[in-house]
Amino acid sequence: MKTCFLFPGQGAQYPGMGKDLWEASAGVKALFDSASGSINVDMKKLLFEGTEEELKATDKTQIAITLMNLSCARMLKEKGLESDGAAGFSLGEYSALVEAGCLGINDVFPLVKARGDIMEKVAKSLDSGDGPPGMAAVIGLTYEALVKALGDAGISGLYPANYNSPVQIVVSGTSHALQQGEEVLKKAGAKRYIRLKVSAPFHSPLLEQARIEFSGVLHKTGFHDPQKPVYSNVTGKKITSAEEARDLCIKQITSTVLWVEEEQTLVKDGYVRCVEAGPGTVLTGLWKNISDSVPCHPAGTLEQIKNL
Protein backbone atom coordinates (compact mmCIF):
# COMPACT_ATOMS: atom_id res chain seq x y z
CA MET A 1 0.00 0.00 0.00
CA LYS A 2 1.79 3.14 -1.24
CA THR A 3 1.91 5.42 1.82
CA CYS A 4 3.00 9.03 2.29
CA PHE A 5 3.91 10.38 5.72
CA LEU A 6 2.62 13.94 6.23
CA PHE A 7 4.35 16.02 8.91
CA PRO A 8 2.54 18.99 10.54
CA GLY A 9 4.08 22.36 11.29
CA GLN A 10 3.85 25.17 13.81
CA GLY A 11 0.51 25.47 15.58
CA ALA A 12 0.02 21.72 16.08
CA GLN A 13 1.92 21.62 19.38
CA TYR A 14 0.35 20.96 22.79
CA PRO A 15 1.76 20.44 26.31
CA GLY A 16 2.64 16.84 27.12
CA MET A 17 2.83 15.68 23.52
CA GLY A 18 4.89 12.57 22.87
CA LYS A 19 4.97 11.27 26.43
CA ASP A 20 3.09 8.08 25.51
CA LEU A 21 5.55 7.42 22.67
CA TRP A 22 8.57 8.07 24.92
CA GLU A 23 7.27 5.69 27.58
CA ALA A 24 6.62 2.93 25.03
CA SER A 25 9.78 2.99 22.92
CA ALA A 26 13.52 2.79 23.57
CA GLY A 27 13.99 4.15 20.04
CA VAL A 28 11.98 7.25 20.83
CA LYS A 29 13.91 7.72 24.09
CA ALA A 30 17.14 7.58 22.08
CA LEU A 31 15.76 10.15 19.65
CA PHE A 32 14.95 12.51 22.55
CA ASP A 33 18.49 12.05 23.91
CA SER A 34 20.00 12.73 20.48
CA ALA A 35 17.94 15.89 20.04
CA SER A 36 18.75 17.16 23.54
CA GLY A 37 22.46 16.56 23.06
CA SER A 38 22.65 18.19 19.64
CA ILE A 39 21.15 21.52 20.76
CA ASN A 40 21.82 21.46 24.53
CA VAL A 41 18.11 21.67 25.40
CA ASP A 42 16.27 19.27 27.72
CA MET A 43 13.68 18.16 25.18
CA LYS A 44 11.92 15.82 27.57
CA LYS A 45 11.31 18.74 29.94
CA LEU A 46 10.22 21.04 27.10
CA LEU A 47 7.66 18.65 25.62
CA PHE A 48 6.33 17.10 28.81
CA GLU A 49 6.48 20.09 31.20
CA GLY A 50 6.43 23.13 28.88
CA THR A 51 3.38 25.37 29.11
CA GLU A 52 1.17 26.21 26.16
CA GLU A 53 2.65 29.73 26.12
CA GLU A 54 6.23 28.45 26.19
CA LEU A 55 5.60 25.96 23.39
CA LYS A 56 3.98 28.70 21.27
CA ALA A 57 7.23 30.72 21.08
CA THR A 58 8.78 30.13 17.65
CA ASP A 59 12.23 29.31 19.03
CA LYS A 60 10.73 26.54 21.19
CA THR A 61 7.95 25.35 18.86
CA GLN A 62 10.19 24.44 15.96
CA ILE A 63 12.44 22.05 17.88
CA ALA A 64 9.50 20.58 19.82
CA ILE A 65 7.35 19.80 16.78
CA THR A 66 10.28 18.40 14.81
CA LEU A 67 11.09 15.99 17.63
CA MET A 68 7.43 15.00 17.97
CA ASN A 69 7.09 14.42 14.23
CA LEU A 70 10.18 12.24 14.06
CA SER A 71 9.13 10.33 17.18
CA CYS A 72 5.82 9.48 15.50
CA ALA A 73 7.68 8.32 12.38
CA ARG A 74 10.01 6.20 14.53
CA MET A 75 7.07 4.57 16.32
CA LEU A 76 5.25 3.93 13.04
CA LYS A 77 8.29 2.06 11.75
CA GLU A 78 8.58 0.08 14.97
CA LYS A 79 4.99 -1.02 14.38
CA GLY A 80 5.87 -2.09 10.85
CA LEU A 81 4.63 0.86 8.79
CA GLU A 82 7.18 2.38 6.42
CA SER A 83 6.67 5.41 4.18
CA ASP A 84 7.05 5.42 0.40
CA GLY A 85 7.21 9.22 0.30
CA ALA A 86 7.09 12.23 2.60
CA ALA A 87 5.71 15.76 2.71
CA GLY A 88 5.54 18.34 5.47
CA PHE A 89 3.63 21.55 6.06
CA SER A 90 5.93 24.54 6.62
CA LEU A 91 8.25 23.52 9.48
CA GLY A 92 7.07 19.94 8.92
CA GLU A 93 9.00 19.89 5.66
CA TYR A 94 12.21 19.47 7.66
CA SER A 95 10.85 16.24 9.17
CA ALA A 96 9.95 15.12 5.64
CA LEU A 97 13.52 15.84 4.50
CA VAL A 98 14.82 13.62 7.31
CA GLU A 99 12.35 10.89 6.37
CA ALA A 100 13.57 11.07 2.76
CA GLY A 101 17.26 10.98 3.73
CA CYS A 102 18.04 14.57 2.67
CA LEU A 103 18.93 15.58 6.24
CA GLY A 104 20.44 13.59 9.08
CA ILE A 105 19.05 13.42 12.62
CA ASN A 106 22.17 15.13 14.00
CA ASP A 107 21.76 17.99 11.51
CA VAL A 108 18.05 18.70 11.67
CA PHE A 109 17.71 19.83 15.30
CA PRO A 110 20.47 22.48 15.19
CA LEU A 111 19.01 23.58 11.85
CA VAL A 112 15.42 24.06 13.04
CA LYS A 113 16.66 25.64 16.28
CA ALA A 114 18.56 28.24 14.24
CA ARG A 115 15.49 28.72 12.03
CA GLY A 116 13.28 29.35 15.05
CA ASP A 117 15.77 31.68 16.75
CA ILE A 118 16.24 33.76 13.60
CA MET A 119 12.51 33.98 12.84
CA GLU A 120 11.69 34.98 16.41
CA LYS A 121 14.32 37.74 16.38
CA VAL A 122 13.27 39.16 13.01
CA ALA A 123 9.55 39.01 13.88
CA LYS A 124 10.15 41.03 17.06
CA SER A 125 11.95 43.67 15.04
CA LEU A 126 8.76 44.14 12.97
CA ASP A 127 6.63 45.23 15.93
CA SER A 128 5.18 48.69 15.38
CA GLY A 129 3.00 51.21 17.19
CA ASP A 130 -0.01 49.34 15.78
CA GLY A 131 1.14 46.08 17.34
CA PRO A 132 3.05 42.97 16.28
CA PRO A 133 2.78 41.39 12.84
CA GLY A 134 0.91 38.11 12.48
CA MET A 135 -1.41 35.95 10.42
CA ALA A 136 -5.12 35.47 9.76
CA ALA A 137 -7.13 32.59 8.30
CA VAL A 138 -9.52 33.57 5.53
CA ILE A 139 -12.47 31.23 5.05
CA GLY A 140 -14.72 31.11 2.00
CA LEU A 141 -12.55 32.66 -0.72
CA THR A 142 -10.67 30.84 -3.45
CA TYR A 143 -6.93 31.45 -3.69
CA GLU A 144 -7.37 33.29 -6.98
CA ALA A 145 -10.13 35.54 -5.58
CA LEU A 146 -8.02 36.39 -2.52
CA VAL A 147 -4.96 37.29 -4.58
CA LYS A 148 -7.09 39.47 -6.86
CA ALA A 149 -8.77 41.24 -3.94
CA LEU A 150 -5.44 42.05 -2.30
CA GLY A 151 -4.00 43.24 -5.61
CA ASP A 152 -6.99 45.45 -6.38
CA ALA A 153 -6.96 46.99 -2.88
CA GLY A 154 -3.22 47.67 -3.00
CA ILE A 155 -2.71 46.90 0.68
CA SER A 156 0.96 47.22 1.59
CA GLY A 157 2.35 44.53 3.89
CA LEU A 158 -0.28 41.78 3.47
CA TYR A 159 0.49 38.54 1.62
CA PRO A 160 -1.01 35.08 0.97
CA ALA A 161 1.04 32.76 3.18
CA ASN A 162 -0.59 29.32 3.26
CA TYR A 163 -2.81 27.84 0.55
CA ASN A 164 -4.36 25.37 2.99
CA SER A 165 -7.46 24.21 1.12
CA PRO A 166 -9.68 25.27 -1.78
CA VAL A 167 -11.63 27.51 0.63
CA GLN A 168 -9.07 28.35 3.33
CA ILE A 169 -6.08 30.62 2.85
CA VAL A 170 -3.88 32.15 5.54
CA VAL A 171 -2.48 35.65 5.08
CA SER A 172 0.56 37.19 6.78
CA GLY A 173 1.08 40.86 7.42
CA THR A 174 1.86 43.80 9.61
CA SER A 175 -0.65 44.65 12.30
CA HIS A 176 -2.03 47.58 10.29
CA ALA A 177 -2.25 45.55 7.07
CA LEU A 178 -4.09 42.72 8.84
CA GLN A 179 -6.67 45.22 10.08
CA GLN A 180 -7.14 46.59 6.56
CA GLY A 181 -7.30 43.11 5.09
CA GLU A 182 -10.28 42.05 7.16
CA GLU A 183 -12.55 44.69 5.64
CA VAL A 184 -11.28 44.18 2.09
CA LEU A 185 -11.51 40.39 2.10
CA LYS A 186 -14.94 40.29 3.72
CA LYS A 187 -16.20 42.65 1.03
CA ALA A 188 -14.70 40.26 -1.54
CA GLY A 189 -16.80 37.41 -0.11
CA ALA A 190 -14.84 35.89 2.76
CA LYS A 191 -17.16 34.29 5.30
CA ARG A 192 -14.72 34.47 8.19
CA TYR A 193 -11.45 36.25 8.98
CA ILE A 194 -9.73 34.74 12.01
CA ARG A 195 -6.60 36.23 13.57
CA LEU A 196 -4.19 33.43 14.52
CA LYS A 197 -2.17 33.11 17.72
CA VAL A 198 1.29 33.07 16.14
CA SER A 199 4.42 35.08 16.83
CA ALA A 200 5.51 35.93 13.28
CA PRO A 201 4.22 36.72 9.76
CA PHE A 202 5.40 33.37 8.38
CA HIS A 203 5.92 32.68 4.67
CA SER A 204 5.87 36.30 3.58
CA PRO A 205 8.37 38.87 2.28
CA LEU A 206 8.25 40.47 5.74
CA LEU A 207 10.73 37.78 6.81
CA GLU A 208 13.27 38.62 4.12
CA GLN A 209 15.94 39.36 6.73
CA ALA A 210 15.32 35.92 8.26
CA ARG A 211 15.70 34.34 4.81
CA ILE A 212 19.06 36.05 4.34
CA GLU A 213 20.38 35.05 7.77
CA PHE A 214 19.08 31.48 7.58
CA SER A 215 20.58 31.03 4.13
CA GLY A 216 24.02 31.23 5.73
CA VAL A 217 23.12 28.45 8.17
CA LEU A 218 21.72 26.24 5.41
CA HIS A 219 24.87 26.55 3.31
CA LYS A 220 26.88 25.14 6.22
CA THR A 221 24.56 22.12 6.51
CA GLY A 222 25.11 18.91 4.59
CA PHE A 223 22.17 17.93 2.38
CA HIS A 224 21.85 14.63 0.49
CA ASP A 225 19.89 13.55 -2.57
CA PRO A 226 16.44 12.15 -1.65
CA GLN A 227 16.33 8.39 -1.07
CA LYS A 228 12.55 8.41 -1.50
CA PRO A 229 10.13 10.98 -2.94
CA VAL A 230 9.78 14.18 -0.91
CA TYR A 231 7.72 17.23 -1.87
CA SER A 232 8.18 21.00 -1.66
CA ASN A 233 5.89 23.67 -0.19
CA VAL A 234 7.35 26.23 -2.58
CA THR A 235 6.61 24.37 -5.82
CA GLY A 236 4.07 21.74 -4.80
CA LYS A 237 6.27 19.26 -6.68
CA LYS A 238 8.86 16.55 -5.99
CA ILE A 239 12.34 17.61 -4.84
CA THR A 240 14.98 16.03 -7.05
CA SER A 241 18.40 16.77 -5.52
CA ALA A 242 20.33 17.88 -2.44
CA GLU A 243 21.00 21.31 -3.92
CA GLU A 244 17.36 21.81 -4.82
CA ALA A 245 16.33 20.81 -1.28
CA ARG A 246 18.67 23.43 0.22
CA ASP A 247 17.54 26.13 -2.23
CA LEU A 248 13.87 25.45 -1.52
CA CYS A 249 14.47 25.61 2.25
CA ILE A 250 15.85 29.11 1.72
CA LYS A 251 12.91 30.17 -0.45
CA GLN A 252 10.35 28.60 1.89
CA ILE A 253 10.95 31.31 4.53
CA THR A 254 9.29 34.00 2.38
CA SER A 255 7.25 31.92 -0.11
CA THR A 256 3.59 30.88 0.02
CA VAL A 257 3.03 27.30 1.19
CA LEU A 258 1.26 25.71 -1.79
CA TRP A 259 -0.20 22.87 0.27
CA VAL A 260 -3.20 22.27 -2.00
CA GLU A 261 -0.93 21.84 -5.01
CA GLU A 262 1.32 19.53 -2.99
CA GLU A 263 -1.64 17.36 -1.96
CA GLN A 264 -2.84 17.19 -5.57
CA THR A 265 0.64 16.05 -6.64
CA LEU A 266 0.53 13.24 -4.07
CA VAL A 267 -2.77 11.99 -5.49
CA LYS A 268 -1.37 12.13 -9.03
CA ASP A 269 1.74 10.24 -7.91
CA GLY A 270 -0.37 7.29 -6.86
CA TYR A 271 -0.33 7.28 -3.07
CA VAL A 272 -3.27 5.30 -1.75
CA ARG A 273 -2.88 6.31 1.91
CA CYS A 274 -1.50 9.27 3.87
CA VAL A 275 -0.53 9.18 7.53
CA GLU A 276 -0.23 12.36 9.61
CA ALA A 277 2.91 11.64 11.62
CA GLY A 278 2.86 14.33 14.26
CA PRO A 279 0.70 16.15 16.79
CA GLY A 280 -2.92 17.00 16.08
CA THR A 281 -5.15 16.36 13.08
CA VAL A 282 -4.86 19.58 11.06
CA LEU A 283 -3.43 17.92 7.95
CA THR A 284 -5.94 15.07 8.16
CA GLY A 285 -8.71 17.67 8.15
CA LEU A 286 -7.26 19.58 5.21
CA TRP A 287 -6.83 16.37 3.22
CA LYS A 288 -10.60 15.77 3.28
CA ASN A 289 -10.98 18.72 0.89
CA ILE A 290 -8.70 17.03 -1.66
CA SER A 291 -9.62 13.35 -1.98
CA ASP A 292 -12.46 11.05 -0.99
CA SER A 293 -10.73 7.96 -2.35
CA VAL A 294 -7.33 8.36 -0.66
CA PRO A 295 -7.65 8.31 3.15
CA CYS A 296 -5.48 10.26 5.58
CA HIS A 297 -5.06 8.81 9.07
CA PRO A 298 -3.88 10.69 12.19
CA ALA A 299 -0.86 9.10 13.87
CA GLY A 300 0.12 11.50 16.64
CA THR A 301 -0.51 9.27 19.65
CA LEU A 302 0.43 5.71 20.57
CA GLU A 303 -3.23 4.68 20.41
CA GLN A 304 -3.70 6.15 16.94
CA ILE A 305 -0.56 4.42 15.69
CA LYS A 306 -1.64 1.07 17.14
CA ASN A 307 -5.03 1.45 15.42
CA LEU A 308 -3.53 1.82 11.92
Q: What number of other Cβ atoms are within 10 A of residue 240's Cβ? A: 13
For the question of residue 176 being annotated catalytic, the response is no
> Which one from 36, 38, 83, 90 is the annotated catalytic residue?
90
CA separation, residue 140 to residues 148, 179, 187 (Å):
14, 18, 12
d(CA 65, CA 276): 13
Tell me the C-alpha distance between 43 and 106, whole Å: 14
- Tell me whether residue 38 is one of the annotated catalytic residues: no
Laid out side by side, the sheet with 3-7 consists of 85-88, 3-7, 273-276, 296-298
Cα-based distances in Å from 107 to 4, 6, 95, 147, 261: 23, 20, 11, 37, 28
Cα-Cα-Cα-Cα dihedral sign, residues 228, 264, 6, 137: positive
Gyration radius from the chain CA atoms: 18
| Catalytic residue, candidates 172, 203, 204, 232 | 203
Q: Which residues are catalytic?
A: 90, 203
